[in-house]
């Protein structure tokens, strides 16, 4: 892990959504330097499934050497933002770093996303980030450090990232567009950057949404905290960047990333918006049905009765190849055996290397039974019955749902 150097001692960080999860991890990392942390979040009473409040976070921050100011802030409320900024300046004398971490998520398609949920995501993610930045900028301009960091993804216009959750993607990309615009607008005065994880991050929210066992496929929030800490040490000229946590930490000399894994050695879920293997995809467009399947598998690993479409990486072709991809024939519904025949012909060592997991399917309905797909050993294999190697993931579904998943329906 990245060691603390004391460089943030006496600095004031205004962090939205800092009562738990990634926001709190960033706060604790800075607090170990002796930083001042403004905890701008809504939670004043612990949620039954989401422990942590602005007050318990303040206690943890002060226990590791920082100073804390808990403020009740719903980033949809401009007055609450302004009041918290004013309190921060009164207590600590200014603001040196803003972390826009608060976010709302609904991984639902267009017809299944209520207008109320659309408004929530737009208001928290895009509007909340914009308003909080606007309120902090006058004070950030006076700081020698002056960083805005948005927890938002690179602006990847691959259609696969819009297809299943258009509203969420628009709302998150709104945060990223704030980076694009403000970095240019305040160049030389404030560094404005985005930070995004390469893999799924384990938080209490992920536990609640992802279901039992999801944590083994995640990294700890410490990796985001270390990457943020690295960014804050950079000059104001380091601006307008869309940073992936692992890539930055490799530049910092970190080589052992198992220290960040909840379960070292276990396959990790890649995060949204990151095209993990672009060269592989470009070379193997003809195998896109397997690529789509791989993304579906990653989704189903955290899906519990369609409650939550989990973090995934769709190894999808670049934009110029999408017409060809979308015109590929769909698999016939119910043809489980035929599906496995197609999968067998498309398997390769590259796909195995990219996936590293053994899947077993318990299918009900016509052509059901037990089937497996080994994407962990040698060049991969598939068939009926039980696999010869230990199973990483067991999936139970109807044959109809199974075929739909492989057909990218």
Catalytic residues: 168
CB of 336 closer than 8 Å to CB of 403: yes
Segment 60-65 long-range contacts (CB within 8 Å, at least 24 positions apart):
60/24, 60/28, 61/27, 61/28, 61/31, 61/37, 62/31, 64/28, 64/31, 64/32, 65/31, 65/32, 65/33, 65/34
CB of 195 closer than 8 Å to CB of 243: yes
Count of CA atoms in the C-beta half-sphere (13 A) of 388 = 6
Residue 305: C-alpha distances to residues 166, 183, 308, 327 (Å) = 21, 42, 8, 30
d(CA 37, CA 28): 9
d(CA 333, CA 366): 11
Maximum alpha-carbon separation in the chain: 69
Q: In what order do the strands lie in the sheet containing 97-100?
A: 67-72, 36-41, 12-16, 97-100, 147-150, 191-196, 242-244
User: And the tokens for 158?
Assistant: 């691959």
CB of 19 closer than 8 Å to CB of 41: yes
d(CA 344, CA 290): 10
Find residue 12's DSSP bridge partners.
36
């Amino acid at each position: 892990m990245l060691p603390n150097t004391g460089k943030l001692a006496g600095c004031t960080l205004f962090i939205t959504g800092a009562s738990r999860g990634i926001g709190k991890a960033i706060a604790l990392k800075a607090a170990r330097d002796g930083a001042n942390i403004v905890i701008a979040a809504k939670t004043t009473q612990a949620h039954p499934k989401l422990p942590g409040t602005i007050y318990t976070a303040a206690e943890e921050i002060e226990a590791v050497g920082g100073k804390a100011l808990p403020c009740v802030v719903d980033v949809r409320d401009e007055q609450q933002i302004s009041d918290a900024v004013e309190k921060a300046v009164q207590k600590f004398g200014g603001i040196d770093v803003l972390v826009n971490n608060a976010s709302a998520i609904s991984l639902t398609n267009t017809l299944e996303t209520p207008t109320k949920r659309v408004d929530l995501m737009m208001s928290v993610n895009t509007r909340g980030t914009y308003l909080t930045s606007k309120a902090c900028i006058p004070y950030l301009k006076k700081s020698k450090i002056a960083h805005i960091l948005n927890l938002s993804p690179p602006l990847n216009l691959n259609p696969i990232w819009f297809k299943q959750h258009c509203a969420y993607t628009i709302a998150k990309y709104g945060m990223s567009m704030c980076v694009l615009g403000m970095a240019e607008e305040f160049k030389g005065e404030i560094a404005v950057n985005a930070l995004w994880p390469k893999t799924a991050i384990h938080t209490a929210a992920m536990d609640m949404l992802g279901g039992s066992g999801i944590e083994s496929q995640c990294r700890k929030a410490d990796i985001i905290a270390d990457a943020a800490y690295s960014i804050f040490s950079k000059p104001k000229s380091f601006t307008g960047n869309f940073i992936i946590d692992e890539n930055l930490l490799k530049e910092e000399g970190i080589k052992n990333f198992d220290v960040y894994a909840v379960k070292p050695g276990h396959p990790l879920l890649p995060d949204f918006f990151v095209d993990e293997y672009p060269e592989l995809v470009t070379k193997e467009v003809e195998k896109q049905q397997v690529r789509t399947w791989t993304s579906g598998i990653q989704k189903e690993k955290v899906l519990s009765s369609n409650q939550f479409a989990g973090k995934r990486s769709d190894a999808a072709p670049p934009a110029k190849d999408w017409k060809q991809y979308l015109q590929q024939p769909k698999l016939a519904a119910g043809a489980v055996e035929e599906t496995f025949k197609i999968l067998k012909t498309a398997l390769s060592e590259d796909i195995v290397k990219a996936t590293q997991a053994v899947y077993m399917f318990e299918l009900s309905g016509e052509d059901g039974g037990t089937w497996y797909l080994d994407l962990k050993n040698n060049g991969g294999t598939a068939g009926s019955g039980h696999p010869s190697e230990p199973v990483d993931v067991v999936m139970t579904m109807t044959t109809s749902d199974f075929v739909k998943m492989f057909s990218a329906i």
